Structure 1
Amino acid sequence: MRRIALILLFNFILLNFNAQEVAVLKYSGGGDWYSNPTSLPNLISFCNERINTKLNVKPETVEVGSSDIFQYPLVHMTGHGNVYFSVEDAENLRNYLISGGFLHIDDNYGMEPFITRELKKVFPNKDLVELPANHIIFNIAFPFKNGLPKIHEHDGKRPQAFGIYHEGRLVLLFTYESDLGDGWEDPTVHNDSEDVREKALKMGANIIKYAFEN
């Protein structure tokens, strides 16, 4: 028990040494973890400009089972298809999250059944719970009075933001039927209007600000 506590303390220290960096999460299972290559760089540039972050505009890639994950207070995960976490991956991700890390999972369409299944390996006794529209993450930098914005239609369902809490802290955010990442991409990729892209980027900035400050 003491050994586990020391490991978690050490990991927490590592997280705080690199207080403002984000990374893309690489996972197994065949899903396209690398989709939306312009998304995160564009969001980072927006955040550096609008909420005064000082992030590297070329985010690193980190594997879910690597100890390198502890270098980043925020890790972003996306894709369309299958996700698979080994026992070691799940344990590493759980330790990362409970020691101060934050994971944002953005369903790029078709990811939901797979990530829901795999998160049960990470937190067997926890469920994804929907965040209310008045949650601070929707207002911390830019206001979204109705909660998560709708960026792409997909199945026409309402956008939903789900979270997992550990000891009262939101450690994981899963954005579903919104597709923020598509809205962060270069304008020519999806031909979204400026208004749609602005909404997506502002919500992304809220997520980054929340992860760094909570």
Structure 2
Amino acid sequence: MAQEVGPRGRAGGSRWETAREVVVLAATLASFLASVWLLRRPAPAPIRIIPPPTPAPTLTPTPKWIQVYLTGAVQAPGVYTVPQGLRIWMLLEQAGGALPSADLERVNLAAPLMDGMHLHIPRRGEEASASPTPGPLLDLNTASVEELDRLPGIGPRAAQAIVDYRLKHGPFRRVEDLLNVPGIGPATLERIRPWVTVSPAP
């Protein structure tokens, strides 16, 4: 015996079909909107790779050359042309070293060389010269900070102090006036006395 579908059954089926159509329509609409959004989205900015800057070439300063007259108890005495800034012990190595009779205790091997300097290496038992001959004397009233810095026992700070004192108080009248410069004591004065002079006041 066939069963008849009543109005309630047909209405339930109709609502289910309608709901399914709504779901399908919503999914289709969502897919369409997503496609439109993807198409209209601005493209990402391209990535730029910036190479690091090329460093500028380093210029090597040209060394300044000086001449030194070397005599005494050395293997090869004579006039030597050497770069500025060398020390006495470096010059002795270039000259082949000191002789066995050399009295190196009387030589400050760490002292810097100066242009025009006469460096004498004494022998043991040799009398000390009454007046050292270091070469051209450095004028305290005209010397620059760089020139004063090359004196034995004078560093950059003391060299600058000497120049500052000269600018503030005027020219030095005698070498002993260095004792008025802050940082210059009697021991330092005696160490550099053979290397410096004071030009006469005008």
Q: Same fold (TM over 0.5)?
A: no
Hey, which of these two has a bigger chunk of strand by percent? 1
TM superposition score normalised by structure 1: 0.23
Which entry has the higher C-alpha Rg, 1 or 2? 2
